[in-house]
Amino acid sequence: MANAMWGGRYQEGPAAIMEEINASIDFDKRLAAQDIRGSRAHVAMLAKQGIVSEADAKAITEGLAKIEAEIEAGTFTFSRALEDIHLNIESNLAKKIGPAAGRLHTARSRNDQVAVDFRLWVRDNLDAIDAGLKALQQALTEKALAHAGTVMPGFTHLQSAQPTTFGHHLLAYVEMLGRDRGRFADARKRMNECPLGAAALCGTSFPIDRHMTAAALGFDRPTANSLDSVSDRDFALEALSAMAISAMHLSRLAEELVIWTTPQFGFIALSDKFTTGSSIMPQKRNPDAAELVRAKIGRIIGALTGLLVVMKGLPLSYAKDMQEDKERTFDAFDAFALCVAATAGMVTDMVPDAKRMKKAAGVGYATATDLADWLVQTLNMPFRDAHHVTGRIVGLASARNIDLDKLSLTEMQGVEPRITEDVFRVLSVGNSVKSRTSYGGTAPANVKAQARRWLKVLNRG
């Protein structure tokens, strides 16, 4: 049987395989709420412009409300023969209200319809993402404030570099997530134009009011070019790009959680709620949630790359290729929301082992820079010379397999006679972090101030 919605010139129905490749209902049913929102705005505008009667508009609006309730209740029957969410809803509307349903699609095409639905979906979900990232920033900042003075090793090349604090380390992620939220906000702002009314590709001869529908749907304005409106998916690409960057940040934090929870590091413990046991090794507490956060970025980069490949080389305007925009995008948003929530859970529950971290902070001559700085500040030595002298002192300590502050004054004076007892003041990890008071530096007082600043920002916005 030919398609009831567009089959006027068709004698035969589609091959089974055609139906299978063509139908998007299995995944685009996720656009139902947005589709109904768009239709409501469209029909209200059609009525106001005198394009459909008030009576028909009322019947359509009431029918849409019933469909919405059925979909929410899970009693709506979706049909593959009806291809996609747009035709499923319109066809059901006809069953409910009769021929007036056929007027809903006046001055509209599925091309602008899907463009507006998908934009609304991405926009709704960007808002949800922002709330999730903000909650994660809050969790990180609270932990950072509590541990502004908890000394831990700072690494470069994953080698002991200089002592830092756990609070300072966590606030680094708060900064990253702040920029991520900025990127999502930029994407949201740029995408907030309404394609509805572009119709198939060239606009319409009906006297529609695109400003009215744009405003009703919360857009800043209608899109200015009808071809562009139905052709581009850059709004989804931009959201996915921002997501890939943010997922990369989450993946790095997840990797650190994995490293920190190894018995060898033992810097933090994750809660039972966010770890799993092993079916064979009874002692294990595996950081599965962190590992999955680390991994899920694969899907997100995959979605971004996949959509870029789908879109590249497509001639204007709409092509069915673009139906491939949704599935992976939905999947990426789902994966990302999960990652954000799981990370917030882990961060809230994690307990640092301050003693172990402090001990580890001194390993590997992490205060060598402090010694060099002392030589510069106290003996007015050029930094390069101080670096060299410090290197020789580290060599002494290393040959004896002891920490820098365990060397005697006489031993250090053997390398540089002007060194005094005062040097021991800077060789402890606690004093090292306290001394780094430059703006943005690791000193606990700085970290506290930054954490408080962030809490204010987060509570404001």
Binding positions for ligand ARG, rule: CB under 6 A: 24, 28, 84, 110-111, 114, 318, 322-323
Q: Is 157 a catalytic residue?
A: yes
Burial (CB count within 10 angstroms: exposed 0-12, middle 13-18, buried 19+), residue 309? exposed
Check: CB of residue 310 under 8 Å from CB of residue 326.
no
112 vs 416 by CB, closer to ligand ARG: 112
27 vs 76 by CB, closer to ligand ARG: 27
What is the C-alpha to C-alpha distance for residues 301 and 43, in angstroms, rounded to an integer? 38
92 vs 390 by CB, closer to ligand ARG: 92
What is the C-alpha to C-alpha distance for residues 435 and 151, in angstroms, rounded to an integer? 13
The distance of closest approach from Cβ of residue 31 to ligand ARG in the complex, given in angstroms and rounded to an integer, is 9
The distance of closest approach from Cβ of residue 152 to ligand ARG in the complex, given in angstroms and rounded to an integer, is 50
86 vs 299 by CB, closer to ligand ARG: 86
Over the range 153-165, which residues count as b (16 or more CB within 10 Å of their CB) and which as e? Answer: bbbeeeebebbbb
Check: CB of residue 350 under 8 Å from CB of residue 139.
no
Pairing of strands 221-222, 193-194: parallel
49 vs 106 by CB, closer to ligand ARG: 106
- Listed residue (175, 171, 311) closest to 241, CA to CA: 311
CA angle in degrees (0–180, nearest 5) for 192-196-198: 115
Report in angstroms the alpha-carbon separations of 174 from 249, 269, 446. 10, 20, 15
Write out the two tokens for 317: 């305007």
204 vs 432 by CB, closer to ligand ARG: 204
Over the range 196-208, which residues count as b (16 or more CB within 10 Å of their CB) and which as e? Answer: bbbbebebbeeeb
User: Three-state DSSP class for 162?
Assistant: strand
The distance of closest approach from Cβ of residue 85 to ligand ARG in the complex, given in angstroms and rounded to an integer, is 7
Report in angstroms the alpha-carbon separations of 109 from 59, 113, 230, 236, 259. 21, 6, 10, 20, 53
312 vs 460 by CB, closer to ligand ARG: 312
The distance of closest approach from Cβ of residue 217 to ligand ARG in the complex, given in angstroms and rounded to an integer, is 18
Given 157, 205, 279, 438, the catalytic residue: 157
DSSP string, 272-307: GGG-B--SS-TT--B-HHHHHHHHHHHHHHHHHHHH
What is the C-alpha to C-alpha distance for residues 451 and 461, in angstroms, rounded to an integer? 16
Asked if the bond preceding 317 is cis, omega within 30° of 0, the reply is: yes
Q: Is 388 a catalytic residue?
A: no
Write out the two tokens for 48: 């106001």
* Segments in 147-209 forming alpha helices (H): 166-191
Check: CB of residue 227 under 8 Å from CB of residue 317.
yes
The distance of closest approach from Cβ of residue 299 to ligand ARG in the complex, given in angstroms and rounded to an integer, is 20
Given 24, 278, 279, 432, the catalytic residue: 278
The distance of closest approach from Cβ of residue 99 to ligand ARG in the complex, given in angstroms and rounded to an integer, is 23
What is the C-alpha to C-alpha distance for residues 225 and 231, in angstroms, rounded to an integer? 10
* Segments in 353-382 forming alpha helices (H): 354-362, 368-379
36 vs 342 by CB, closer to ligand ARG: 36
**Positions marked catalytic:** 157, 278
